Amino acid sequence: MVAPVLVGKVWARRRDRWEAVAQLSIFNCQELALLFAHSGRSCRAVAYNFIPCSPDGSAPAGHDLRGWLPPQHLCWQVLKIVGEFDLSGFLRGYRADGQGAAAYPPQVLLSLVLYCYCKGVRSTRKIEAACLDDVGCRIITGNQQVDHATVARFLCRHREGLKSLFVQVLALCARRGLVDLSAVAVDGSPMHAAAARSANRSLDALETVIADGEAQLVQLAQDTDEAAADGRRRLTAAGSCLRRLSQLSDRVTRARVARDKLFERSLPSAGEIRIKVEAAQRMVAKAEARLAEVTAGQQQRLADYVRRTLQDQAAGRRRAVGRPPVSIEAKTKVVAQQARLARAQAALHRARYPRPIPSAVARASLTDPASRLMLGKHGGYVQGYNVQIACARNQVLLAIELQDNPADTTALVPVIRRVQHNCAAAGLTGDVAAWLADSGYASTANFAALADLPLLVSITKEYEQTRATTPPGHNVPAGHREMAARLASAEGKQLYARRDALVEPGFAQLFQQFGRRVHHRGTAGVDTEIKLLGAVHNLKKIFHHDARQRTS
């Protein structure tokens, strides 16, 4: 902190007190206020330095702002609901001492984002345009023209706060009695990433991109130093080199992340590791048993030969009849079984500690390494994310999560645990009466991990499952027979018949409102985006419920 320039003895003493306060390890704003008060200077209350965006002050003179839009308009509903949120997580990102440039209040930007998202406007540039020609946006911002970069920075800066909104909105749904835990359905669907399929690269291609990029970075760094040393004549060239350096470094970084993703995805899952370890342990046990059998047989032969030799010597014969057996170490069968055991033990070690080796056909996106190539909903392949949702009655979302795998099998346990966490955080009492999922989630590992829950998962095709028929020659894996028995009961059939009506309209409403494409890149950005979409989805349920309550 720089002390003000003061003259005179009195002001010098005040300056000394200022500097004494400035040297404190933790600046106490109250001491500063007392200092100014004692010095006789005015001191305004220390608070956040926010741009005034009051809706009451945005109307031109002679106009009543409340008459611009009807009382039931979406704008007023959003402003009212944001007033019920806990925004302490957002406020922690701002200075509370009144210093720094003025910023938009987080409740204003949050209201603006929620209002535009409720209307299906997600582009930050379209949000900026709406601040000019949308009356609701002008009311929310207090007639301020919010720049699109400000909105984008707000979304990136407050990711944790935005993700926490999902639970807060779920709590508001619970207060209105909108959450029914009699049955919850889980399903997944792909959403297109902000990346093209043509941006996928193999491991060799990524290594080439990294090597070429590093070589260009070294050359550009040298060119930048030379341009900076030439002075003003090459200032423009130096700036161009710096921009190119930034672009190249970003490309090399994304290529390295994509390469790491290839190695990470080549690792088997925990369930696959367990299955491989169990199979390898069985092979080791068989090899050990066979080696012990062969060794015992050879030892018996050696013992028989020694016994016969002693008998022949006692009978006066020079040597025993027959060729003497070879030693155990030289026996061909023993050596072969020892080699077999060594191979089985090596396979067990590889199963326990797998090495990530990407296949030749594995690909990772150079634009968004976190996205994956997966089967599209209507055929073909898309570059995207696997989005998982858990829906209760009336398509109220209890959880919305990302799955880093095109298959749904490994997503069931994390989604159910997330639902339980969200319900507890939202203050919901009671347990879910039935968990419903299609055959994409059927696995022995899932059934074992969720054995304490009332789970109903299809173990055959939907057409066959709903009619309680099993294809001829179909072998039911271990652990699936109990699930088949649950589904074959009258109660199981009645509950599972609700799955489609619970979760399928949930995806339909999400995609009809927001489309099938995410706008952010990276796991952190996309996870925040889909949770914000889920919060807005539930907000619209609240608005619809409140509107029906008013009309009734």
Ordered alpha helix ranges (H), 267-328: 270-314
**Looking at residue 121, what is its pLDDT?**
94
| The amino acid at 193 | A
**Looking at residue 60, what is its pLDDT?**
57
DSSP state of 330: T
CA pseudo-torsion sign 22, 24, 28, 31: negative
Token code pair at residue 306? 């020694």
| The amino acid at 169 | V
| Residue 96, phi-psi category: left (phi > 0), alpha (psi -120 to 50), beta (remainder) | alpha
- Determine which helix (DSSP H) or strand (DSSP E) holds 400, and give its type and residue range: strand 397-403
Burial class (CB in 10 A: 0-12, 13-18, 19+), 494: exposed
Alpha-carbon distance 302 to 134, whole Å? Answer: 99
**Looking at residue 26, what is its pLDDT?**
29
Alpha-carbon distance 209 to 131, whole Å? Answer: 42
Distance from CA of residue 321 to its chain's centroid? 77
Could you tell me which residues are beta bridge partners of residue 381? Answer: 375
Calculated CA dihedral for residues 467, 470, 472, 475, nearest 10 degrees: 170
Phi, psi at 387, each rounded to 5°: -100, 130
Give the HSE-up count for residue 429: Cα atoms under 13 Å, Cβ half-sphere.
1
Q: Is the pTM of this model over 0.95?
A: no
Alpha-carbon distance 387 to 371, whole Å? Answer: 11
**Looking at residue 42, what is its pLDDT?**
35
DSSP strand pairing (455-457 vs 435-437): parallel
The string of pLDDT tens digits covering residues 418-457 is: 999 999 999 998 899 999 999 889 888 888 888 889 988 8
Specify the residue for token string 């009311």. 139
Q: Which residues contact 165 (CB under 8 A, 6 or more apart)?
A: 85, 531, 532, 535
- Comparing C-alpha atoms, which of 380, 357, 382, 358 is closest to residue 372? 382
**Looking at residue 246, what is its pLDDT?**
84
- Comparing C-alpha atoms, which of 45, 52, 40 is closest to residue 30? 45
Burial class (CB in 10 A: 0-12, 13-18, 19+), 435: buried
Q: Which stretches of the chain score pLDDT less than 70?
A: 1-46, 48-49, 51-66, 224-240, 318-322, 460-479
Token code pair at residue 428? 């919901």
Phi, psi at 141, each rounded to 5°: -85, 0
